[in-house]
Each structure stands twice: as structure tokens, then as C-alpha cells.
Structure 1
Amino acid sequence: MKSADVVSRYLARLDLAEAPPITPKGLRAIHEAHLFSVPFENLSINLKEKVPLTHRAFAEKIALSRRGGICYELNGALYWLLKRLGFDVTLASSRVWVDGGLTHPGDHMVVLVNFDSRKGDVWIADVGFGAHAMKPLKLTKAGSQHDATGDYTVRPAGTGCHDVLRGDVPIYRIEPGIRSLTDFRAVYWWQQTSPDSRNTQRTMCSLPTANGRVTISNNELTRTKKDSRRVELMDDKATLSAYREYFGIELDDVPRPRFPLLWSDARS
């Protein structure tokens, strides 16, 4: 299939009738549509489906197979789409803040969109971090950036790094330098195969809704709204039906975690 046809199918998946303009407003339209349409999910990992580490494979997974993915797949596909629409994009490596410390390099990947670097008009596009900012965040903007999910700050962290914070809580640190997908090959493999990877310990499929979020993890359906949270334990038949109803994902088998996180492990 020609790239132009994949782009058209991709835009249709996002419910966009045409390509938005190459402006911050156009970027925001794509970003928000992506988050509402394409789930964060690690089902391929736990179904042992092979997804090649290429931008085109990630884009086809979303546009043609109507699936989602983990951060490398979602942001890697977004990079491919934006580049073909004419945006100036690069990949950046990030480390995630967990329990007061940073995880390993490349634990997360984001897209930087440059409109005018001389004026500091560079934006962080991130559709692969689950419950995160719905709008792109400006990399060099001082002060708070309001979003439907909270108030965010992006601040310099020395030697070209930038920390992204929600409120006063640091979320991840963007490291300097332009990256390619091949720079993430080892960590992408680790995320799919290690018993210590959070992506192999529980299955996950999640999307924001107009007033909350819907998530399937293992056989558990969680629906949240502003002031309520409903959790439902399902059998396999109901789980497959829920994947179809809430995410439009047709599966033959219920995904099982490759290395289930035991209750005792979670408490240790």
C-alpha cells in the first residue's frame, strides 16, 4: 500500500476528514484526536505478536489493524504521520520519574515538533504515556500550561534536559539529542520480554473518554468519571466483548500477562 493511502487511513482512524494545517493548532487537533481514538495497550506483547521496530509498521498497526500500542509504537507512528503531513519532527529519549528516582535511559520516547527553534517554538507531542496531557506541551514555555488533565510545567534540568511535571510532581525527563528508532531497539526488546517490565506483568488497554477513562487490565474493566470509579471483574467472554465495545478491538483469545505480577510481589 502506498504511504499516501496509509496516511488517509490513519487520518480516518482519528476521525479527521482532512489533514490539519502545519501549525500548533493543527498539531493540537491531531494530538487530541489520537488520544481519544487510539488506545495505549500492550496486548501485542502478551499475545506474543511480532511488531517490527519501524515507523511504517507502527503506523500500519494503528491505521490498518485498528490497534494501539505502547509508547514506542504510538509515538513512533505519530512521528511517521506528522512527518508525512509536513511537520518538522524529531524523536527524543526520556527517563521516567518513579519513587523519587529516574528509570533507565530510553524508558520512554516522545516526539518534538519544531515550528521555529530560533524563537523557542518547539512542542512536546506525546500520545504514548497513558493518562497524560491531552494537548501538546510547549518545551520552552515558562510557567504553568493548563490542560484538561491538570496543570503542567516544563523546566530545564541541566545539560540540555527538561523535566515535565504535573503540578509539583515530576513525570519524566527529556534528554538532549536527536534519536532514531534504532536507538530504542534494546529497550523495546526489554519491554516485551523482561519479567521486570510493567508491560509483561499486566495486560493493559486504556482510552480517555469525554468525562473520564475506560481501562481493561487482565480481566478487570475500570470506568472512571469525574467523581466516580467503577471496577468490574469479567469472565473471558465478557472481556472479549468489552475489547470490542470500548476499543473496537477484535480478539480471538483473551490476552494473558507473560509474567503475572503476584499479589505478594506487588506488596514487596
Structure 2
Amino acid sequence: MKKGQRMSAAEMDVDKYLLRIGHVAARPSVPTLDVLCRVHSCHLRSVPFENLTIHSGGHLRLDLHILYNKIVNQHRGGFCFENNGLFSWLLSEMGFEVTLLSGQVRNSITCQYGPPFDHLILMVSLEGHRWLCDVGFGGSGFHFPVSLETSEPQKQQGHGLYRVTKDEGGMHFLQWKGDEFGETDGVEWTDLYKFMLEARCREDFVEMCDYHQSSASSIFFCKSLCSVLRPGGRLTYIGYRLITTTFPTEGGGGGIKTTRELKEEEIPAILEETFGVVLPSPLIPKDEEITPPTIMY
């Protein structure tokens, strides 16, 4: 495709997408839970959670062909609307029954929820069982799909403990924040976001996608960031810092973090060498305080 030429939906290729996320085996012919788990994990280990377009003079759009060109052809990443938006297309093309859901993230400052369509997540229905998929939630993301059929804790290979509960406000997705697994109904459970099971479409999320690119109450506007899962840990760039997180072999804690301060001239090379990200325009690093939102939900 020539530079500046618009890509058509017909040029979106499943096999190329699978190669991009490191799924080197042949495309599976049957949608199974094992396949779902593999592509979910592969996506998290290959596609960064990042918002660098916002901080390099661009504007994010949710058209599928644009997302495919960015994530697959340009080897970039994105935030939830992008990563989960395109991942839903991949799963559908592979034969999975996928439903887009609206999530409301719990604000760490106010402890209140964001507005509807604050977060895009996926539900996959497979052999009578429903699974929560999310490859766009950054450092609190889970490696493999989480069952929606139980409120019991679900362990993720020693690197996290999660559960899904339900009340009159909808479904709640929680993460265990204690140092070790043990009693699981104490105060150490942290609500990450809530959601309803009503089917949505990509267009429903456009307004909130714009909000997160322009609001002083959004982390995506206030901080330039890029993060990706790696075996045994996570690498995260924020503003002028590179953070390496090493996961514990057991326990639900956040892992051991080491931080390296960066000079502005170092950042482009760090992004390319560490995350495989090359930006078309210069990045303006940003790490400002987030203004608490005034409207509570």
C-alpha cells in the first residue's frame, strides 16, 4: 500500500494479524477455549497499551481499517477502544461469537465510576459459557479470559486473582490486591470496573474516545504512556520514566518495580527498542496531575 493511500476493509487479513501478535501456528479452524486463551495472551504480549498518537499530534479514530493499519501494519498499539475494538474483529473472523460491552472504570482518585462507554470490553459466548475478554486495560489487565459464570476467585498463573460479582448496578470486575492469596472476601478486593451485558457497537464509544483525548480528568490526556506484558513482568513508559515490573511467582501483589528516569532525547529510542513503536511525528512527553472529574456515576 502506497503512503497516504487509504486501506480498504478487504485488505484486513486474519493471518497477518495472527503473525503480528506472535501466533505462529496455522490459523485454527475451530473456535475453542484453548484458541481464545492463546490469542488473548499473545495479543497482550505483543500489542502495547499506549496513547502516543494523542501526544504526537494525531487524533484517534475507531474505524476498523484505521485500527488494523495502525496495530497490524505499523506495529503500534492503542488504548481500550482500539485494542479491544480490533481484537473483536479478529475473534469474529475466527468464528467466535463476540459482544461489545460498555464498561465504567472505577476512578482511583474519587473511587467513583466513570460514565457509560468509559471502557470497551468484550464478551465471548462459547459452548454455552460466557467469557470476559479485555486486551486494553494496561497494568491491571488479565492474561486469559475470565469466566462470567461464577463469582468465585479465578487465578491467573500466579500473577493475579480476579472475580466477577453482580448487584443491582450490574456486573463488577475485581482484582485481589493483597500480598498473598488467602481469605478472598476481605477488603483487599478492589473493584476495577463495572459493566452491563447489553450489546453495543463501536460507534457508541466515539464520544468517550474523544473525551479521553481532550479531558484533564483523563489519564490518557494527562500522561504519555506505553505498556506491554512480558514473560514474568511488564514494561511501562510514562512521561519521562521507564518502569520495569517483575511479577511474584505467587501472591496477588503488584510485583517489584524499578524505575529509570529518562531524558527527552532518549525516549524515541526507548520506544523503538523496548516496545517496537516508531512514531510518524515527534512525541511531546507528558506526565501531569489528573484533575478529578466533577460528575460522579
Question: When the two structures are superposed, what TM-score results if normalisation uses the length of structure 2?
Answer: 0.81
Task: Give, in angstroms, the shift of residue 64 of structure 1.
Answer: 0.7
Write the mapping of 1:45-84 to structure 2, written as runs, cut at 5 A. Answer: 45-84=54-93
SS in 2 for 1:111: strand
Go from structure 1 to structure 2 and tell me whether the alpha carbon gap of 1:57 and 1:193 turns closer, same or farther (over 3 Å shift).
Answer: same
| 1:139 partnered with 2:148 | yes
Aligned to 2:192: 171
Q: What is the aligned length? A: 259
* In 1, Cα distance between equivalents of 2:10 and 2:164: 34
TM-superposed CA distance for 1:4, in Å, is 6.4
**What SS class does the counterpart of residue 254 from structure 1 fall into?**
coil
Provide the secondary structure at the position in 2 that maps to 1:101.
coil
8 Å contact kept, 1:201–1:261: yes
Matched, 1:203 2:224: yes
Deviation at 1:140, TM superposition (A): 1.5
Report Cα offsets for 1:25-73 as digits up to 9, x if no partner.
1100000000000010000111132332222321221111110001000
Alignment of 1:1-268 (within 5 A): 3=10, 6-17=13-24, 18-20=26-28, 21-98=30-107, 99-116=110-127, 119=128, 121-131=129-139, 132-148=141-157, 149-158=159-168, 161-167=170-176, 168-226=189-247, 228-251=256-279, 253-257=282-286, 261-262=288-289
| Aligned residues of 1:6 and 1:60 also touching (Cα < 8 A) | no
Task: Provide the identity percentage.
Answer: 28
- Per the TM alignment, residue 244 of structure 1 is displaced from its structure 2 partner at its CA by 0.9
What is the TM-score when the length of structure 1 is the normalising length?
A: 0.90
Q: Which runs of 5+ in 1 are unaligned?
A: none
Structure number with higher relative contact order (C-alpha < 8 Å, ≥ 6 residues apart): 2
> 1:203 and 1:114, CA in 2 relative to 1: closer, same or farther beyond 3 A?
same
Cα RMSD for the two superposed structures: 2.0
Residue deviations 1:111-156, cap 9 Å, x none? Answer: 111113xx4x011110000021111101112311111331111112
3-state DSSP of counterpart to 1:253? coil
Letter in 2 for 1:101: Q
Q: Which has the higher helix share?
A: 1
Q: Identify if the C-alpha distance between structure 1 residues 220 and 122 changes in structure 2 by more than 3 Å, giving closer, same or farther.
A: same
What SS does the corresponding residue of 2:136 show, helix, strand or coil?
coil
CA distance, structure 2, for counterparts of residue 157 and residue 166 of structure 1: 17
| Unpaired segments ≥5 residues, structure 2 | 1-7, 177-188, 248-254, 293-297
Letter in 2 for 1:224: T
- What is the one-letter code of the residue matched to 1:155? T
Note closer, same or farther for the CA distance 1:55–1:139 as it changes in structure 2 (3 Å cut): farther
Tell me the distance in 2 between the aligned counterparts of 1:196 and 1:2.
Answer: 34
